[in-house]
Chain A
Amino acid sequence: MAKITFDGIEIEVPDGTTIMNAARQIGGAIVPPAMCYYTPLKGSGGKCRACLVKVAAGSAKDPRPMPKLVASCITPVQDGMVVENTTNDSVLDVRKGIVEMLLINHPLDCPVCDQAGECDLQNFTFEHGLSTTRYQEERRTFEKIDIGPLIQLHMTRCILCYRCVYVANQIAEGDRVHGVLGRGDASEIGTYIENIIDNDFSGNVIDVCPVGALTDKTWRFKQRVWFTKPVNAHRDCPKCAGNVVLWYKGNEVLRTTGRKDQYGEVKEWICNECRFEKKETADWTIEGPAHIDRSSVISANHYELPVLNQSVIADLPASTQRELELNPPLKLG
């Protein structure tokens, strides 16, 4: 076990836990944002640099601070480590810079984007970004590509988090038809469209996409996400666990997705049959309204307050204190 101090809050976690996951065990507003890291996907993380934090003391043995900010999603904790996230202004400044970088080539076509309302980049920008831009040049654009009949890739919106590449490698195995082509800001998600992704689990690339780059063609332009009602449901599926969220408008099922946790990570992968083909209520056993966490506009006006699982030590840094007052933690069960 390793004991670390994160933004003035002490927590003990198993050796090998990443700083990000230690912070998630604390919960609340101090958790660093993640645009590329995705717990179920091995090897993900370290790319978007949104989760950079300051390590003010490396470990109890070697309490020197780390010279650069580190990506909290891939850096394992050490016993005695002291980490600063929301308590360090330079971290927040850098994060502002990261938002700016992610946005300079993003089309900001949220009004017509299906992801709007449940977009990680929107949330990230809202929480950390500026409302203006210093970028004057033309943004890079790509043609839309159909990845098979059910998924559309709109590369212009992509932030190159590589999550879908990991899904293609790890979940939807088989002939690898998915990777990254090109270099620098000209790199793009390659699809070799003549070999369409026909794996049963290829639809999961839609769920992992943090922006609107990969969208469900059975759902595109049907409805704004905040006008729909999410409902948990399951069915006996021979291929996957069959636990899904159905998104209703009236009595109509507009789309089906996997169930996600509060950090937007799917709990169980679902197959393409459940996702694309079963669009009748009769196909499903309804469990009840889906729990929607605070990171979505669907939960507007009924935000769930963050749960603080750990005891708070005395003499919290002022900024953590402020943070906690703004978003008071709930002690549940």
Chain B
Amino acid sequence: MGRKLLTEHINVEGIHTLDVYRKHGGYRSVEKALKTMTPDEVVEEVKKSGLRGRGGAGFPTGLKWSFLAKPEGVPRYLVCNADESEPGTFKDRQLMSKLPHLLIEGMITGSYALGANTSYIYIRGELLYVLRILEKAIAEAYAAGFLGKNILGSGYDLDLYVHPGGGAYICGEETALLESLEGKRGNPRNKPPFPAVQGLYARPTVVNNVESIAAVPVIVNEGGDEYAKIGVGKSTGTKLFSACGHLNKPGIYEIELGLPVEEFIYSDEYCGGIWKGRDLKAVVAGGSSVPILPKELILKTATGEDRLMTYESLSDGGFVTGTMLGSGGFIAMDETTNIVRNTWNFSRFYHHESCGQCSPCREGTGWLEKVLHRLVHGHGQMQDIDLLVSVAKQIEGNTICPLGEAAAWPVAAAVRHFRDEFEWHVTHPQEATKPGAIFPGKLVTA
């Protein structure tokens, strides 16, 4: 079993309280950073650690921090993106509700590194109970002198606020999140300017995922070089995966990056194999927006190497035979799964969540959903399958924010790898639309 850096003490009784959290080494990084390190040194450690954004895009966190514009006399902000709403991803919720102080500790250390005196945690509206846990923890941190004026006598001030969203997936996009935080309609902004230059209230802002920020205390405590020793190549450290679907042991697993996918699915230490003794059909490896892969391609790359749980290995082969690590929402589907119906379900989500600002996404997501609806309900025609690919292509890359791609990729990938199942829905509509119908054909790969 690999090391657990974030979730080591997650099951300790009362770990959500400051006292217990401190007994298990909590807030050491705040003391270390504020008393012995300059802000730039903290940024340097994070850079050395090779930590990559855990929200989905995988951009190096240290690099993002070093891009932050620092004009004189202008406030800067650190914003934590806790608007976790990608279908299949539920790691941040667990982290925040069990270990609220870990996030707060990361926010303090991170804000110190960036020179921010006000920081925000933007939390998904549906997670109201987590918001209450966080607020209680923040009150404890204020009382203990970890937040507020002159933290630990270092002269550094920080105020931390939690702000709930209204429950829109689009507000997980960083600029839409900032708009929403400013009290406006959560529409993504056009980039440039990037948030590092003009973010919250047109001030330089860094937006980081919960898990990225939670990794900062570990990096500061152990040193960036130590952290970078875990993992493979440019995928360093540990990552939380929320495994769900047809698994014997779905749940949240912290793994060292570099674990083979096969071991993650079948080892008893992790997911324990596919439920009911069935065979694996397909996996969506990083939340619903990344391309789906059939069993053969998720276990081995196209060149026959073992697929590893790293940013590089999962995206090996591009989108033709690969996928992405994404946010770590690992959805496994057994042999009885209807891929067409599943794709329609994803598509329905993106249709519902498109903000409606730019035309390809506003109209295209609805179009995809309607065509898939037709196919699923047995009214599809053969040309609809190519139509799906064509519409997905018209959306992809032409939108303001990545929601367009998130809607297009799963559809394009499903057709790419499971075309015969789509065709089966056209040629055998009555059979295919029966409840519990199982595709009898064999799987194709690109």
Contact = CB atoms under 8 A, between A and B. Distances in A.
A137 interface: yes
Contacts of B134: none
Contacts of B185: 179-180
Nearest to B170: A183
A102 B359 contact: yes
B145 interface: no
Contacts of B399: 49
Contact of B400 (A46, A98, A159): A46
Identify the interface centre among A49, A101, A180, A187: most chain B CB within 10 Å of its CB.
A101
A180 B358 contact: no
B356 interface: yes
A303 interface: no
A89 to B, nearest CB: 14
Given A134-B387, A135-B367, A183 B355 contact: yes
- The B interface, classified by DSSP as helix, strand, loop or mixed, is helix
B370 A98 contact: no
Contact of A94 (B170, B367, B394): B394
Contacts of B353: 183-184
A172 to B, nearest CB: 19
A182 interface: yes
Given A97-B360, A102-B363, A160-B359, A69 B352 contact: no
Nearest to A181: B185
B396 to A, nearest CB: 9
A52 interface: yes
B364 interface: yes
A152 to B, nearest CB: 22
B354 interface: yes
Contacts of A100: 394
B87 interface: no
A186 B360 contact: no
Q: How large is the interface on B (under 10, 10 to 19, 20 to 34, 35 or more residues)?
A: 20 to 34
Q: How large is the interface on A (under 10, 10 to 19, 20 to 34, 35 or more residues)?
A: 20 to 34
Given A97-B394, A185-B354, A71 B359 contact: no
A184 B355 contact: yes
Contacts of A71: 190
Contacts of B400: 46-47
Contacts of B190: 45-46, 71, 74
A61 interface: no
B359 A47 contact: yes
A49 to B, nearest CB: 5
Contacts of B393: 97
B349 to A, nearest CB: 11
A180 B184 CA distance: 11
Identify the interface centre among A48, A68, A134, A179: most chain B CB within 10 Å of its CB.
A134
B366 interface: yes
B147 interface: no
Contacts of B38: none
B360 A184 contact: no
Interface in A26-66: 45-50, 52
Contacts of B355: 183-184, 187
A47 B356 CA distance: 9
B367 to A, nearest CB: 6
A104 interface: yes
Interface in A194-221: none
A321 interface: no
A69 B387 CA distance: 22
Contact of A184 (B192, B356, B397): B356
B357 interface: yes
Given A52-B398, A137-B367, A184-B366, 15 more contacts: A49-B359, A49-B399, A98-B360, A98-B394, A100-B394, A102-B363, A134-B387, A134-B390, A135-B367, A162-B357, A183-B170, A183-B352, A183-B355, A184-B354, A184-B355
- Ranked nearest first, the 4 interchain pairs of A and B with the lowest CB-CB distance are A97-B394, A187-B356, A184-B354, A46-B190
Interface of B: 168, 170, 185, 190, 192, 351-360, 362-367, 370, 387, 390, 393-394, 397-400
17 contacts: A49-B359, A50-B359, A69-B397, A98-B360, A98-B394, A104-B367, A135-B367, A137-B370, A160-B356, A179-B185, A180-B185, A183-B352, A183-B355, A184-B355, A184-B366, A185-B354, A185-B362
